[in-house]
Amino acid sequence: MRHMQRGWIWAVAAVLAVAAGGCRQGPAKITGGDAALPPGEASAEFLDRVERQGSVSQNDAMRGLLLLLDGQDKAQSFRQRAQTLTGRGIVPTNWEPDAMKPITRDQLAYMVCTALKIQGGVWHTLLGHNRRYCLQELQYQGFLAPGLGNTEVSGSEFVAVMARADAYLQHGEIPKALMPK
């Protein structure tokens, strides 16, 4: 019995450590804050440009989310995009955004999951939004094809995720025609 009590204590301590581990006081460091994107680029032009890229930068990913959610990107710089999405809780305060770094699949999953208010399974519910469980949930729901979370998002994959997210916003589900194969 005593051994079981110690096991529960360690389990509770682990859950608390994971939950508290992501907390940071103060604003995150934003690298490349003055980085700009092509001006006057509407949604269609943006998606055409991004789809041809081998990997999508965090700057482009944040612009894509703002276009999806607001229909426009009023930000003049990456710093403004990052601060806008951080203020909305879509980008966590413990991230250190970098305009030139590629977005990873788990980072994109976290932002999409949070932006669309997608609720997940048991672990996702217990531990809240984190990159791992958001990735698993979006793969389960068909937003993302199976794959590792720490890999870069290609342009075509990003456009496909944005199309699925847009369908989800409009219909509450992803049409079968847009599901990954």
Note the residue count of the chain: 181
Summarised one tens digit per residue, pLDDT across range 41-63 is: 667 788 888 899 999 999 999 99
8 Å CB contact between 120 and 142? no
Alpha carbon 74 to its chain centroid, in Å, reads: 20
Q: With bands split at pLDDT 50, 70 and 90, how would you rate the model's confidence at 21?
A: very low
Summarised one tens digit per residue, pLDDT across range 111-126 is: 999 999 887 766 666 7
Burial class of 81 by CB neighbour count within 10 A (0 to 12, 13 to 18, 19+): buried
Burial class of 96 by CB neighbour count within 10 A (0 to 12, 13 to 18, 19+): exposed
In sequence order, which residues have a C-beta less than 8 Å from that of residue 137 and are 6 or more positions away? 109, 113, 118, 120, 121, 124
The per-residue pLDDT for 106 is 94
Phi and psi of 153, rounded to 5°?
Answer: -90, 125
Q: The pTM is what?
A: 0.75
